[in-house]
Structure 1
């Protein structure tokens, strides 16, 4: 089921998404941006439908990708429309998806092909950085996973570029550090291309 179909099913069962800034991707997908409490996880709600939060990277218009240019949907530009709160019905779905994912987050795919290597290794590098790993530690882990999982492996320069780029970000707060209740985060609901 494509992301737009999955979203339509959820909206039919619950309620439509409120008006909120919406970015359109070069590949035909959409990103709905919301304000949400700090405990919203990054999860896959259905094939092609992801809720991005908890430190996930966000691509905003006017970025470009191999699939094309990102742009704001007509009438839903971030400068013209305030961020809506995350719909109440989405939070329980996100927590349920985190507790019962389709694939355990601890399982790594056996091989990563050419179209996925960079994204997959960058995501892993981000996880390591959030947990406080340094650039040399990130690079060492990337080398191991690149050699064992990527077909064909990325070259050393690309691995170093990923580690250097990700290491620029600050690590996440320690797991035992209190998060103020008033702190709110901007997240997005990502709908993949239906084609």
Structure 2
């Protein structure tokens, strides 16, 4: 159905370019917008990259990250009325201290969770030339962020000092101190050959710069 719609819209646009368009100008613009939208959602989000690794639990981590933001926001909003009622003599000091402690604990948990979640690799991709590694991870706000790293700059598992049998592995670069984490136990290597080439490519570039 989608491919048939694309053929019809493409045929209509081709007719418009060869001669007078059979309809108002706004109709042609609308059809062109529909064709662009359909083409956009028909393609994958990373058309020129091949996925080599995926963590299925990244959606759960994103939900927990956003939930912590919501919880912290609600806690912070509640504090001013609590202080106001305390100054009016309607609340006890114990309740104020308890509420403040809960808010502080929520903020600490948010920082700790975000510090960890932002370093978890959700997906890894290789470009067609197998020279660039695209790494997707979460931001502080629970959104997706992509890093583009030269394969030659990515440390192999042997260079990071991790054992292949470990549950959590480190993803590091030679040029920077930033450390991300991925897991072949909880995650899934979608393209084993591409994953091995990414690791081998880093080693080869070190030996033959």
Does TM-score exceed 0.5, indicating one fold? no
TM-score, normalised with respect to structure 1: 0.22
Pick 1 or 2: higher relative contact order, CA cutoff 8 A, min separation 6.
1
Going by fraction, where is helix more abundant, 1 or 2? 2
Superposition TM-score, scaled by structure 2 size: 0.21
Larger Rg: 2
